[in-house]
Structure 1
Amino acid sequence: MATSVVELQQLSNQETIHMRLQAPGRATSPPKPFKKGKIKLDPLRALEPARKKLTTVEAQRVMAVLEDTRKRIELVSYLPFIIDDLDRFSVMFGSDLLELFRTHKATQESYNELRASLGDLLDRKERADSPAGSQRRGSAASVRSNASVTSVDDKIDSSTRHLQLVEKQLRHSVKNILRSLATNPGAARAIQELKVERPQHVSTMMQALSELRDIIMEKLLTTPVEEQEKKQYLTQVTHQERQNAVLIEQLEGELNVALEDKDAEVKKKNDVIRRLQADLHQIEKFSDEHIKRTKSEAEKQESADQKNSEGKQAKLQQEVSTLRTQLQNLISEHKESEQNLRGKKFKLETEVENWIQRYDTDMGDRQSQFEEMDTRYTEEKKQLHELEERFTTLETEYKQIQEERRIAREKREAAEREMQMMIKGATTIQAFWRSYKVRKALKSKKKGKGKGKKGKK
C-alpha cells in the first residue's frame, strides 16, 4: 500500500495528459495551439482549483483506486470487532463469508501465538548473550550454554519462517474476506455502519488517508497553468507582505515620533493643570474668607430678625387675649340663642308627633273603609263575571237567531223578487198576447171587408 501511495504522489507531480476520444469514421483535425493568457485569480479562491470535477480517465482511475483503498482499510479496521462477535453477524454474512472470518480468526490466533513464542525466544537469547549471564556461567556450563544458544537460534529461525508463512496466510485471508465483501455489498454496508470506537492509530491513519485524498484531488484538478499562476500569486503576496512590513516599520517610527510629541504635549498640559490647581487653591482660600464674612453678616441679621420677631410675638399675644375675651362673649350669647332654639325644636317635635298620631288614626279608618270597599268590589266583580258569562251565552244565541232571521229574510226577499219578476213577466206576456190577439182580430176584419167589396163588383 505504501508503494501505491508513492506512485500516486508521483502521478500527481507529473503533468496531466489530456486525451480526446475520436468517433469512428470521422477525420481528425490538428490540435489547436495553446494560448498563454493571464488568468485572473479571485483572492478569496486563489489557492482553490478552478475545476470541480476530474476530466481525464487516468485521474479518475487514480481517485477510484485511492477511494477503494481507503474503504478496504476501513473494512479491515473493523475485523477485530467482527471476529470477537461472529454470532451477531451469522445471519447477515452467510455461511461462506462466516467461514472465511472463522478461518481468519484461527490464523490470527496462531499468528499471535507464534509471535509470542518468538518474543520469548528472543528474550532468552538476549539474556544469554548479556555480559552478566556470561560471567555467572562457568567453564563447564559455557559448553552447555553454547549448545542451548544454538538450539535457541534454530528455534528462532524456524519460528520466524513459520511466522512469515502464517503472516502470508493472514494477508491472503484478509484479501479473501475483502473479495467476498466486494461481492456482498449489504454486508460491507452493515460493517461500515458499525458504531464502535476504533483504536487511535486506526483513526489517525483514516484521517491521513482522507487528507491524502484531498491533496491528490487538488493536485489532479490543478492544471500546470493554474499551478504557475498560484506560484506567481504567492510570490506577489510575499512581495506585498514584505512591502507591508517595510510600511509597518515606517508607521511604527512615525507612531513613536507621534507618541513623543504626545508626551511633550501631555507634559505641557500637566504644567497648565498645576498652575490651574494653584489658582484653584487661592480661589478656595478667598471663598473661605467670603463664606466667613457672609456667615457673620447672616448671624447679625438673624439677631436683628429675632428681636423684631419678639416684638411681633408680644403684639400677637395681646391680640390673642382680646380675641379670647370676644370668643367667650360670643359663646355666652350663642348659648342663650341655642336654648331658645332648643325650646322651639321641642315644640315642633311634639306637634310632629301629634300629627303623626292623627295620621295613623286617620289612615287606620281609611284602611278599614278600603277593606270594606275592596270586599264589595270583589263580590260585585264576581257577579259581573257571572253576568258577563251569561251575556256571552245569550249574545251567541242572539247572534245565531239574528243570523237565522237574516237568512230567512233574505230568502223571503229573494222569493218575493222572483215572484214579482214572474208576475211582471206574466203580465208582459199577457199584454203581448192580448195585443197579438187584437192585431190578429183586426187583420181578420180587414180581410172580411175586402172580400165583400170584391163580391159587389
Structure 2
Amino acid sequence: LVKGMPGKAGIPLGVMKVLDPRQLKPNSMETERILTVLDETIVKLEITRLIPRITASLERFARMLGPEITSSLLEHQKLSMEVRDLLASPGDEESVRAVEQCLKCSLRNILRLFLANPLLYHGLKYEVRVKESPADVFIKAFMEFRDFMLERLLTSPDEEKEKIQFMEDISLRVERNTETISALQEELAATIQNRDEEVNRKDKMIKNLKTSMEDLAKNCKADIQQIIKEGEKQQKEDEKASQDRCARLEQDVRRLRAQYSALVVEHRASELVLRKVK
C-alpha cells in the first residue's frame, strides 16, 4: 500500500484514486486547461445536437432564448438552407465554400452565446426532446474519452504501476476462480449425470414393476374368468345329471306304480275267483 496507508478492502490507494472519481482532483494548470477544453467540447457537441430541434420550433423557444440568440439561429437556419440548395444543384464551388465558411462562423457564434449563458443551455437540455441519433453515440464516446484522459492525467507512474499490478492480481484471481468454477461445474455435471442415471434406473424398475403388476392382474383376471367358466360348466353338468337322475327316478316311480296297479288288479281278480269257489 502507498505510504503504509490502508486501502479499502485491500485495494492500493493509487488504485482507489483511479477507481473512485471523487478522489481525482486536478493537480496542475495544464490538467485543468485540458479538462476545460474537453468539457467545453462536450457542451458544444450537445448544443450542436439541439440546434436543429430548436430552430424547428423557434417560436416556442424565442422568449427563453432572447433576441440575440434567436436572430443568430434564424441566420444559421437561412445559411443551412442556402448550403443545402447549393449542394443540391451544381454551381460555383467558391460560392459553396464561402457559404459553408459563413455557416461555420454562424455556428461558432451560436456556441459562444450559449456558453456565455450556461443556465440557458441546461434549461434547454431538459426542455428540448431529441430522438436518439448517431450524434448521441459520438457524444457518449467523447465523454468516455474525457474520463479516460482525466484518469491518465491524474495517475502518477507509481499509481499506474499499482493499478497494473492490481489488475494483474484481479486477473489472476479471476483465472483461479474460473478454474475453480469450471471444476465445480464438472463435478456438478457428473453429479447430475449420476442422479439422472439413478432416476432413469429407478424409472425403468418402476415401469417393469408396473408392467409385471399389470400382467399379473391380467393373468389373475384370466384365471378367475377360467375358474368361473369351469364352475358354470360344472354347474350345468351337475344340473343336467340331476335332471337325468330325476327323470330316471320319475320313470322308475311310474313303472313301480304301474306294477303296483297290475298287482292290485291281479290280487283282486284272484280274490274274486276264490270267493266264487267257496
Corresponding residue number in structure 1 for 2:82: 110
Specify the SS of the correspondent of 1:78. Answer: helix
Pairwise CA distance, 1:239: 1.8
Question: 2:114 is matched with which residue: 154, 175, 181?
Answer: 181
Give me the whole-angstrom Cα distance separating, in 1, the residues matched to 2:151 and 2:182: 28
Give me the whole-angstrom Cα distance separating, in 1, the residues matched to 2:227 and 2:42: 91
- Structure 1 counterpart of 2:22, which letter? K
- Structure 1 counterpart of 2:42, which letter? R
Specify the SS of the correspondent of 2:84. Answer: helix
Corresponding residue number in structure 2 for 1:51: 20
Corresponding residue number in structure 2 for 1:166: 99
Question: 1:191-224, CA deviations, whole angstroms, 9 ceiling, x for partnerless residues?
Answer: 2132434363345545555676788889989944
Corresponding residue number in structure 2 for 1:100: 72
Question: 1:75 is matched with which residue: 22, 35, 47?
Answer: 47
Give me the whole-angstrom Cα distance separating, in 1, the residues matched to 2:117 and 2:8: 51
- Structure 2 counterpart of 1:86, which letter? L
Give me the whole-angstrom Cα distance separating, in 1, the residues matched to 2:10 and 2:130: 47
- Structure 2 counterpart of 1:241, which letter? I
- Structure 1 counterpart of 2:179, which letter? H
How many residue pairs get aligned? The number is 213
Question: 1:146-182, CA deviations, whole angstroms, 9 ceiling, x for partnerless residues?
Answer: xxxxxxxxx6xx52x5434433432332222111111
Specify the SS of the correspondent of 2:22. Answer: coil
Question: 1:227 is matched with which residue: 149, 167, 174?
Answer: 167
Residues 202 and 53 (structure 1), Cα distance of their counterparts in 2 relative to 1, 3 Å cut: same
CA RMSD for the aligned pairs?
4.4
Corresponding residue number in structure 2 for 1:358: none
CA contact (8 A) 1:75 1:191 kept: no
Pairwise CA distance, 1:76: 1.3
| 2:136 counterpart of 1:196 | no
Q: TM-score, normalised by structure 1?
A: 0.37
Give me the whole-angstrom Cα distance separating, in 2, the residues matched to 1:288 and 1:210: 95
Pairwise CA distance, 1:79: 0.9
Specify the SS of the correspondent of 1:198. Answer: coil
CA contact (8 A) 1:77 1:198 kept: no
Corresponding residue number in structure 1 for 2:247: none
The correspondence of residues 423-442 of structure 1 with structure 2, limited to 5 A, is none
CA contact (8 A) 2:82 2:99 kept: yes
- Structure 2 counterpart of 1:174, which letter? L
| 2:187 counterpart of 1:247 | yes
The correspondence of residues 36-435 of structure 1 with structure 2, limited to 5 A, is 51-57=20-26, 66-118=38-90, 158-159=92-93, 161-198=94-131, 200-206=133-139, 223-278=163-218, 281=221
- Structure 2 counterpart of 1:57, which letter? P
> Highest Rg: 1 or 2?
1
Pairwise CA distance, 1:283: 8.7
CA contact (8 A) 1:39 1:229 kept: no
- Structure 1 counterpart of 2:115, which letter? A
CA contact (8 A) 1:104 1:170 kept: yes
Residues 264 and 92 (structure 1), Cα distance of their counterparts in 2 relative to 1, 3 Å cut: closer
Specify the SS of the correspondent of 1:57. Answer: coil
Unaligned runs of 5+ in 2: 12-17, 233-278
Residues 255 and 195 (structure 1), Cα distance of their counterparts in 2 relative to 1, 3 Å cut: same
Residues 81 and 37 (structure 1), Cα distance of their counterparts in 2 relative to 1, 3 Å cut: closer
Residues 257 and 216 (structure 1), Cα distance of their counterparts in 2 relative to 1, 3 Å cut: farther
Pairwise CA distance, 1:282: 6.0
Question: 1:299-326, CA deviations, whole angstroms, 9 ceiling, x for partnerless residues?
Answer: xxxxxxxxxxxxxxxxxxxxxxxxxxxx
Give me the whole-angstrom Cα distance separating, in 2, the residues matched to 1:192 and 1:277: 83
Give me the whole-angstrom Cα distance separating, in 1, the residues matched to 2:194 and 2:68: 81
- Structure 2 counterpart of 1:234, which letter? V
Give me the whole-angstrom Cα distance separating, in 2, the residues matched to 1:250 and 1:218: 47
Give me the whole-angstrom Cα distance separating, in 1, the residues matched to 2:212 and 2:33: 82
Give me the whole-angstrom Cα distance separating, in 2, the residues matched to 1:276 and 1:215: 80
- Structure 1 counterpart of 2:117, which letter? N
- Structure 1 counterpart of 2:79, which letter? T
Question: 1:68-106, CA deviations, whole angstroms, 9 ceiling, x for partnerless residues?
Answer: 433332221221132234344444333332332233223
- Structure 2 counterpart of 1:240, which letter? T
CA contact (8 A) 2:86 2:96 kept: yes
Residues 95 and 257 (structure 1), Cα distance of their counterparts in 2 relative to 1, 3 Å cut: closer
- Structure 2 counterpart of 1:73, which letter? L
Specify the SS of the correspondent of 2:24. Answer: coil
Unaligned runs of 5+ in 1: 1-31, 42-48, 119-154, 293-457
Give me the whole-angstrom Cα distance separating, in 1, the residues matched to 2:7 and 2:204: 57
Give me the whole-angstrom Cα distance separating, in 2, the residues matched to 1:251 and 1:190: 62
Give me the whole-angstrom Cα distance separating, in 2, the residues matched to 1:108 and 1:101: 10
